[in-house]
């Protein structure tokens, strides 16, 4: 894999399960050839590798509960 921004660094080959997909997409594109050229299907393959479950479901559920409680609390002051 060639990762121009991280030349010489130990870059993971695939996105860790709980990694931020947007940051991974933006910073770790790894479909370059050694001459920094791209295959015709490179971008489509990269996008497919980003699909699937995103985030920690327990943390997301907790966030939703806090948001609902905030809305409920604020609506009492109308």
Sorted by where each begins, the domain ranges of the chain are: 4-75
What is the pTM (predicted TM-score) of this model? 0.45
User: Phi, psi at residue 7, to the nearest 5°?
Assistant: -55, 125
When mean pLDDT is compared across 8-12, 23-27, 73-77, the lowest value belongs to 8-12
**Angstrom distance (rounded) from CA 34 to CA 65:** 48
How many CB atoms within 10 Å of residue 29? 17
Phi, psi (deg, nearest 5) at residue 36 = 70, 15
Tens of pLDDT along 29-69?
Answer: 777 777 878 888 888 888 887 777 667 789 889 999 999 99
Confidence of residue 24 (pLDDT cuts 50, 70, 90): confident
Radius of gyration of the chain (CA): 19
Quickly tell me which residue has 């931020």 as its tokens. 20
Rounded Cα gap, residues 30 and 42, in angstroms: 9
Average pLDDT, stretch 9-27?
76
């Amino acid at each position: 894999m060639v990762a121009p921004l991280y030349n010489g660094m130990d870059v993971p080959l695939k996105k860790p399960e709980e990694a931020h997909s947007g940051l991974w997409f933006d910073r770790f594109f790894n479909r370059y050839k050694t001459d920094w050229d791209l295959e015709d299907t490179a971008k489509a393959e990269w996008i497919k590798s980003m699909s699937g479950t995103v985030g920690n479901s327990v943390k997301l559920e907790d966030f939703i509960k806090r948001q609902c409680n905030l809305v409920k609390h604020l609506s009492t002051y109308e």
